[in-house]
Amino acid sequence: MTAAPAVDLDGVYAAIGQILSDAEVELLVRQSTGKDIYNEWASREDPRKIKIKKTIEELKAVGNERWVLTYVLVYVAAEDRLRQEQEKIGKKIVKAFPKTLKDLPEADLHVAQVLHCLGRIINTPLPPEMKIQLVPKKDDFAGIVRRIVTLFAYKHLHESLLLLLVALSYCKSLLLSSVAELAPNLGSVARQIDNIVREAPAAFALLGSAASDYGDLPGRLTVLSAALQASAADPQAAANEVDELQRLVRLNVSRLNKQIFESARELSFEPLLDDLPEDIEDSADYKNLVQTIRDLSATVLARALKQKMWQDAENQMSLVGSYFDCPGDAAGIARDWFTLRTRIDWLAELDPDQQWSDESRRLTGEIDNEIFKEGKLDGEIRTRFEAYRTWFGGPFRKIDDDLKRDCGSLRKIDDPLTRILSELGR
C-alpha cells in the first residue's frame, strides 16, 4: 500500500501567518483557548509562523488543536478582506488537520457534560456566600441565554424557509420538464407557506426587536402563495410565480444564514469560566467544564461555518442556473460552473461517511461532457443541471439538520442558567 504523502505543516502555519496580523493571532488564541499566547506558548519576538506553530503543536499534544484552527477558519470566512483566501486556507488546514471540519462530534454530547459540570460547581439553591460572589455576573449570564435563544430563533426561521426553497426548486424543475405526467404539487407548497406564516410569530417573539427585519415576510409569502395557486393551470405562469417566491425566499434564507453565522460567533460562554469563586476554579469539575465548553464552542462554530459554505454554494448555484434563462453559448457558463463544481466537490469531501462525493462527481461529469460536446446551453444540459441541483438539496438539508440539532441542544443550557439568574434576582 502506498503511504499517504506527508503534510507540510510548516506550510500551513506559514499560510495562516501570511494572512493574519500579530494582533489577530493573539485575539483568536485568546478567544479559542481563554489564554494569552505569550504567557503560554510563544514570545513576542517570534515570527507569526513560529507563534502559530508553537501554539498549535502544544495544543495538538493534548488533542485541542482544533480550537484555534476553527476560530481561524471562522475569522477568515467573516472578514471581507480575506474572502479570496477562504477556500485556499480552508483546504490547507483541513488537509493537515481533518478534525477541524470532518467527523464533528454532536454538540449534545458536550452540552450533557456542561450541564453535569455546571450542576456540580454552581448548583441551585446557591449558598449565600456564592450568591454574593455571582451577583456581578448576572448580566453576563443573561447575555448567554439571550444569545442562545437568538441563535435558535434564527435557525428555526432559516430551516423552514430552506425547506420551502428546496420544494420550490423541485417545482420549477417539474414545470420546465417535458415529461407531461409529472406535475408539481403546488398545494403542498401552499401548505408549507401556511406553516411558516403560522409559526413565524413564535420565532419573532424570541428575536424581540431583531424580528423587525422579517416583519413583512409572512404577508408577502401569503400574497405570492395565492398567486401561485391561481396560476396552477398555466405552467409558464406558475413558473413565473415560483421565480418570484424563490427570489423572496432565497433573499431571506441568505440573510438569515449571515445572522446565524454572526450569532454563532457572538455566542461566548466565557462568563461561565471567568472570575468564579476560587474554590470553584480549583476543582476538577471546573477544569472539565473549561475543556468541554472549549470543545462545544469549536463544534458549534465549525457547524455554522459548514452551513455558511453550503449556503454560499447554493447562492452560486442560483447564479449558474440563471444562465439557462437566456440560452446561448456554453462558454459564458463554463468558468462559473467549474468554480461551483470544484467548491461543492470539496464540501462533499468534508463528510466522507455520507458518500456524497461519488454522486456529485457522477452528476458533474455528465454536465461537463454536455458542455464540451454541445458548446451551447440546450435543454439537455439544463435537465442535467437541474438533476444536480436536486441532488445538492439533499446534502444541504443534512448540513442544515446538523446545525439545527446543535442549536436545539444549546437550549438545554437555558434552564440551569435561568434558575441561577432567578436566585441572583434577575
pLDDT in tens, 8-61: 899 999 999 999 999 999 999 999 999 999 999 999 999 999 999 999 999 999
pLDDT at 366: 82
Determine phi and psi for 232, rounding to 5 degrees: -55, -30
The DSSP symbol for 41 reads T
pLDDT at 114: 96
The one-letter amino acid at 315: N
In angstroms, the CA 414 to CA 118 distance is: 12
pLDDT at 374: 60
- What mean pLDDT is reported for the chain? 90
| Half-sphere exposure (Cβ direction) of 361: Cα atoms closer than 13 Å | 8
Q: Which residue has the higher pLDDT, 366 or 94?
A: 94
The one-letter amino acid at 201: P
pLDDT at 377: 65
pLDDT at 257: 94
pLDDT at 234: 87
Q: Would you place residue 123 in the very low, low, confident or very high pLDDT band (cuts 50, 70, 90)? A: confident
In angstroms, the CA 37 to CA 40 distance is: 5
The one-letter amino acid at 325: D
CB 153 within 8 A of CB 206: yes
Using CA atoms, how far residue 390 sits from 48, 168, 246, 284, 396, in Å, is: 44, 11, 15, 50, 10
pLDDT at 3: 41
CB 157 within 8 A of CB 218: no
Tell me if residue 276 falls in helix, strand or coil.
coil
Other Cβ atoms less than 10 A from the Cβ of 342: the count is 12
Read off the pLDDT of each residue in 102-130 and give the average, rounded to a whole number: 92
The one-letter amino acid at 115: L
In angstroms, the CA 240 to CA 381 distance is: 21
| 194, pLDDT greater than 90 | yes
pLDDT at 183: 73
Read off the pLDDT of each residue in 120-132 and give the average, rounded to a whole number: 88
Read off the pLDDT of each residue in 301-310 and give the average, rounded to a whole number: 96
Other Cβ atoms less than 10 A from the Cβ of 328: the count is 12
Read off the pLDDT of each residue in 158-166 and give the average, rounded to a whole number: 92
Burial of 180 (0-12, 13-18, 19+ CB in 10 A): exposed
Q: Which residue has the higher pLDDT, 333 or 373?
A: 333
| 373, pLDDT greater than 80 | no
Percent of the chain whose pLDDT exceeds 70? 93
pLDDT at 370: 74
Other Cβ atoms less than 10 A from the Cβ of 276: the count is 20
| 402, pLDDT greater than 50 | yes
CB 291 within 8 A of CB 272: no
Closest C-alpha among 395, 324, 335, 333 to residue 359: 395
Q: Which residues contact 394 (CB under 8 A, 6 or more apart)?
A: none
Most confidently modeled range among 174-188, 254-268, 386-400:
254-268
Assigned C-alpha cell, 399: 448540513
What is the tens place of the pLDDT at every residue in 223-261? Answer: 999 999 999 888 888 888 999 999 999 999 999 999 999
Q: Would you place residue 320 in the very low, low, confident or very high pLDDT band (cuts 50, 70, 90)? A: confident
